Amino acid sequence: MSLLRKIHRHQRSENPQTHETDDLESDHEFHRLIDRMGGIESAYIKQMSSLACGCFGPPGGRCSEPGCGRISCVRCHSHCGGSENQSPDGCGKSLCRWHAYHLPTPNGGTVPFCKRCYGKIMRSRRWQAVARVLLPSFVERSDDD
């Protein structure tokens, strides 16, 4: 029983913000001779690493928030302003689930936003609420019947 062949394949991704290497997936393949039967025995081992979101799905993308760079799966990965129907308020940068701030939509869903865009939307909503309260006191109403 001597080892005939050993193959290792690794899929890695370098984080451009922290310069660390993320191991995504590895394949190990072993082939050895069997003396008793005069044949070759093969073993295939596939090891998947959990992504930053904790899932084992295929990688969806890397978060582009400063200092993060986590890789999340396709299901957990999102974009600022939504992935399918892009909101005009979002900038479109890719986000992990830790940096996505969700706002409800009128149809019952939610749209993810980055911290900057979320803050801009919330400030705008606050100013609109203040204007709705203060505006009626400045507008004169005349009853012309």
Domain boundary assignment for the chain: 1-49, 53-134
The predicted pLDDT at position 143 comes to 67
Q: How far apart are CA 118 and CA 55, in angstroms?
A: 26
The predicted pLDDT at position 123 comes to 93
The model's pLDDT over 44-92, given as tens digits with 9 standing for 90+, comes to: 888 777 778 888 888 888 888 888 888 888 888 899 988 777 778 888 8
The model's pLDDT over 114-125, given as tens digits with 9 standing for 90+, comes to: 999 999 999 999
The pTM (predicted TM-score) of the whole model is: 0.63
